[in-house]
Chain A
């Protein structure tokens, strides 16, 4: 059998997840002739990102025609231009396809057969338009990494290990399992750490662990199940797919949040059973899941499925303009996904991919000036400029992009994405007033049932803010749109509304209009309640403006969304402390201490957490000094921010009152005098006196009169006391 494989050559990724990279195990497979192609050195046929697939075909040895071409982990590589016209069948193996649905859609519409590893994936990709789907577990463990004589379970150092990335956006579900692990009794030796170090080190960790946890979204079986099993390590598995390959409770341990702790304890307390499971699972892997064997079997299946298959690649049915748009998307999304980090594309000139994307979108609009084509083109061009011409944020480059978006608005006044992107562009260029105007227009359009929301419009991946608040939910809803279009569109509308409210919040803050900003961020949070960033900003703003209870509720919500964000937890605890909620603060301190103790990648935060606690004066009663560092610090921070706002809106009485409130908490009456006088002068100058202002002034005046009397009385008493004390001490010394 002859197979042409798209691979990643000597990219750094090849040496990290070694058993996942096809080039590491295909060379010695009997009866398989393999040639590789790709964009990094280390492949047989090296091509450039702009080269058409035809170049690969022409570079094949004379007379060498592959039975099929396999795009290995196609979602992490670049789909070659023109591959839809390949003269032989195309198979694409994809696993992390749900991060960028537009990219996946083009891959599955191009490949004759898409290989996935689970039922959910099969259904989803068929709905998405895949020409054909093969549901088969592709991965295996390389022979080098199967332990010939695994250590006995009882001799292993760790009871349980879990290597995992903390990522509140993509892997929030994993954070919950980390929390579960942290609640295990202290007697167990648990290691939770980042997946750093070489592959061999990772394997060596598996060999030292009795149990490992494996959790993948969509209920899939991760390769960790095999990697662990190959070392005789038993896997705790949260998904359903594993059941197709291994026997539950005999070769792996099924777990959910409900039974997590009890399952772990049950098995760790029965090492004999664990030992038997360890041996059984390893034997199964040796027999069926060695990488080479697995691949050979896969190749056979693919060949069989392809026999007689006459697919019409959907991609070929797209209009020429749409094909260019798709290619533009491919370059664009692949850049952010795989090129920018250098992890999968080595030594690539960074500008190339975004430049190729811009070129493709231009080609598309040269054929047909569709609203999407022009908007995508503008978005891609703007991204390019933000990435590579950041310093030139004025001038004709931007005028051109703005004109393109205005052109769509004028020719297609219901096309929401042109409005949204124009607002966003103004926002990013610092043209905040224009941005506000366009954002309000967009919000209005989003309410209009006859408006045209195009969910496939190019997403601004170069903007971190976009990635934090929209990228994941937008992709989830794009996937949903294949089965429940109406619901998905409704959700997407809500998401864009939420994003716009969040941008309005930022502008409001910058303009000093903090009360309006608060309204906007609360709207944003209501529309996108899962977004940690928005919830956190809402909590902060509520606290800043003195909405005690609401801020604490919102902080709790933020912590639920981002339970492993230690800085957020610290902020929450400090707010609790300043509000005098000491019991709750202590409870939260206990939780944070447990996290930094148990989760190795959080341990570096222990210094800052201890420092924070040391500033809680009420919790350190042994010191004779009552100066409350934490309270002072937080209140001054708020004051700084509020004064900054007040300078922009000097007649804002609500702000003045809030500042007075904080000065009062700090017992600084002289500052209350100061701000009141200045407020009166400001209002007078602006001739803006009304009853609200007067009533504020009246109230503050009354407070000041009372406070002055109290202060004088108190000072007199203290002076008297001090004088007496000095005399007494002197007298005692004299005696």
Chain B
């Protein structure tokens, strides 16, 4: 069989999970002639990202026609331009296809057969427009990595091992499992790690673990299953798909949230049983999941699925301008997936340039809002990546977006992107105005909301950007699977939440912290799953003295982000400041357990300990009662409030809140100071009676405090005087 294989060449990613890249093993499969092509050095036929697939065909040896063109995981590689016209069948093996649904749709429509990891994925990609799809477990292990005899279970160092990416907010479903595993860490040797240095060390860790945990968001069977099996580690799996391949209780351990702890305990108690499972699991994986044999199975599947079928690729029939838009999107998303971190493709500005070019071509065919927005987004990303965002003159993206809102006033997304672009360019005033309009648009049910429209992907991983990617992808999938109304409703809510979040940032930047909090809470209500807004709201509620609400909001935030130790520390400190000592200690204890068992969080344990050691009430042994935590929390609040007050100096609410904090710190001088400063400028005949009354109350309070403090000082001084005299006598007497 002749296969034209799209590959990664010498890209670093090829060597990370070696068995998952057919280029690493297909050369010596008997009966297969393989020619590779791709965009990096190290492939047989190298093309540029803007080359047409025709160029690959032209470079094939004369008379050599492949049976298939096989592409592995296009979400991390670039769909060749013009592949929809391939004279031979095209097969795409899709992993992680749901990360960027627009990209997934294009890939699905362009190839003849898409192979996905399970039934759920198969149904979805067919609904999405795949020409043909099959479900097939796509992971294997090269024979080179199977140990001749895996280590005996009793000799393995770790009881349970779990490695996966946790830190990204896209993988929050994994956090609850990490929590469960960390609960076991007192009794068992649990190793939870976000990364391992390389493939060999990863396999060696598997070989050193009795159990390995595996979880996939869609219930599919993850790579970990076969990888663990190849090293004789028994799998704890949360999904359903695994049952198609392995026998529960004999070859793997099925777990769910309810039976997790019992299952782990029961199996770890019986090492003989585990050993049997390990042997059986290892043999089966070796027999059925060796990479070369597995590759041949995939090809056989392709043959069965494609043979005799007429090739009718949906992508061919989409309008010309839409094709250019798709191309623009593909370059754009790929730039952020594979190019920026240099893992899959050589770093370069080229992809964004090509994206701009494609959107321009789309516009030359037809002027649509989606093409115009795509162009604006690509241009603005290009400028931002190249650090050349114009500071003074109007950016080209703004110009395009102004045109969109004027030509297509009911196209709501355009207002959002325009506001966002102003915001990024530092034009907060314009941003605020446009965001207000955008909000109106999304609230108006007659406006057009287009969830497929390109958005600024480069913002996704920046600290203050509202995370939209995953939510948008879920909406698109919902829409594809037929829930159109619900999808539209969610789209409106999501964009409103994002807009309100940016308005909150602007308002807070202007010093209007009370208004900002209101807007932030509104954003949270529209999209309660957003960790960023919940965290910000919890902190601001505390800042402005809303004790109960802030604690409630912190609990919500921690439920959403249970591994965010900084957030937990904030919460514990707040509990302490509110004198909820029992709750503070319980939360601290839980956090200590997490940091002790999750390797990448271990570095946080020092911060956690430092925070606890600052709790003055808990550390009275030394005889000094200075309370670092109280002082720190209150001083941090003061710092933030003063920043706002300098921007909005006449805001009496802010002044009163600051006074409240000074009172808690016992700083009467500072209360006098701020009252003096406020009244000297903002207290005159025009002041409302309400404000005058507020100041009068402060005066009454100060008067009382001063009287008390005069007595306090007098008493203290007298006491001290007496003590000192006594001491002097003692010292003189020796």
Contacts and interface: CB of A to CB of B under 8 A. Distances in A.
Given A711-B669, A732-B684, 11 more contacts: A198-B347, A633-B639, A644-B628, A669-B713, A678-B624, A694-B724, A704-B716, A716-B706, A718-B676, A719-B699, A730-B692
Interface stretch (A216-224, A231-239, A580-588, A621-629): A621-629
25 contacts: A346-B15, A350-B197, A600-B387, A623-B649, A625-B645, A625-B674, A626-B677, A627-B673, A632-B638, A636-B631, A643-B626, A675-B626, A678-B623, A681-B623, A682-B623, A689-B730, A694-B731, A701-B721, A711-B669, A711-B713, A712-B710, A715-B668, A718-B702, A725-B683, A730-B692
B545 interface: no
Given A348-B200, A733-B685, A708 B387 contact: no
B623 A650 contact: yes
Interface in B702-730: 702-703, 706, 709-710, 712-714, 716-717, 720-721, 723-724, 727-728, 730
Given A342-B197, A349-B201, A646 B624 contact: yes
A647 B619 contact: yes
Interface string A646-675: 111010000000000000000111110111
A678 B625 contact: yes
Interface in B542-596: none
Contacts of B724: 694, 697-698, 701
Contact of A201 (B197, B347, B624, B702): B347
A12 interface: yes
Interface string A670-714: 110111111011101100011100100110010011001001101
Central interface residue in B646, B675, B679, by most chain A CB within 10 Å: B646
A640 B632 contact: yes
A719 B703 contact: yes
Given A342-B197, A670-B666, A722-B679, A729 B685 contact: yes
A347 B727 contact: no
Nearest to A734: B685
Nearest to A42: B10
A138 B347 CA distance: 29
Nearest to A636: B635
B387 A646 contact: no
Nearest to B678: A624
B170 to A, nearest CB: 25
A93 to B, nearest CB: 24
Contacts of A668: 666-667, 669
Nearest to A717: B672
Nearest to B702: A719
B465 to A, nearest CB: 15
A200 B12 CA distance: 17
Given A12-B12, A673-B716, A733-B685, A722 B624 contact: no
A620 interface: yes
A79 B714 CA distance: 80
A735 interface: yes
Contacts of A712: 706, 709-710, 713
A63 interface: no
> Which 5 A/B pairs are nearest by Cβ-Cβ distance?
A732-B685, A647-B622, A708-B713, A682-B623, A715-B706
Central interface residue in B347, B626, B667, by most chain A CB within 10 Å: B626
B163 to A, nearest CB: 15
Contacts of A201: 347-348
Central interface residue in B669, B670, B681, by most chain A CB within 10 Å: B669
For chain B, the bracket of interface size reads: 35 or more
Contacts of B687: 729, 733
Contacts of B678: 624-625
Contacts of A681: 623
A689 B724 CA distance: 11
Nearest to A625: B677
A395 interface: no
A639 interface: yes
A676 B720 contact: yes
Contacts of B710: 712, 715
Nearest to A707: B713
Nearest to B613: A644
B219 interface: no
B649 A625 contact: yes
A10 interface: yes
Given A712-B706, A715-B672, A729 B638 contact: no
Interface in B120-174: none
Nearest to A41: B15
B33 interface: no
Nearest to A647: B622
A523 B486 CA distance: 71
A15 interface: yes
A633 B702 CA distance: 25
B199 A636 contact: no
Interface in B599-638: 613-614, 619, 621-626, 628, 631-632, 635, 638
A350 B197 CA distance: 8
Contacts of B342: 198
A308 interface: no
Interface in B195-220: 197-201, 204
Contact of A733 (B347, B689, B706): B689
A718 B723 CA distance: 33
Contacts of A650: 622-624
Contacts of B613: 644
Interface in B476-534: none
Contact of B680 (A624, A648, A732): A624
B200 A349 contact: yes
Contacts of A719: 699, 702-703, 706
A730 to B, nearest CB: 6
B696 interface: yes
Contact of B635 (A632, A689, A691, A718): A632
B461 to A, nearest CB: 15
Nearest to B42: A10
A282 B605 CA distance: 57
A284 B204 CA distance: 53
Central interface residue in B692, B702, B720, by most chain A CB within 10 Å: B720
B680 A722 contact: no
B197 A674 contact: no
Nearest to A623: B646
Contacts of B668: 715
A627 B674 contact: yes
A197 interface: yes
A444 to B, nearest CB: 33
A151 B699 CA distance: 75
A705 to B, nearest CB: 6
B614 A640 contact: yes
Nearest to A600: B387
B346 A198 contact: yes
A42 to B, nearest CB: 8
A680 B723 contact: yes
Interface in A449-502: none
B336 interface: no
A219 B201 CA distance: 41
B642 interface: yes
Central interface residue in B621, B623, B681, B692, by most chain A CB within 10 Å: B623
A729 to B, nearest CB: 6
B480 to A, nearest CB: 37
A342 B198 contact: yes
Contacts of B684: 729, 732
A723 interface: yes
A614 interface: yes
A141 B633 CA distance: 59
Interface in B639-668: 639, 642-643, 645-646, 649, 666-668
Nearest to A684: B727
B347 A197 contact: yes
A708 B699 contact: no
B40 to A, nearest CB: 9
Contacts of A735: 685
B576 to A, nearest CB: 15
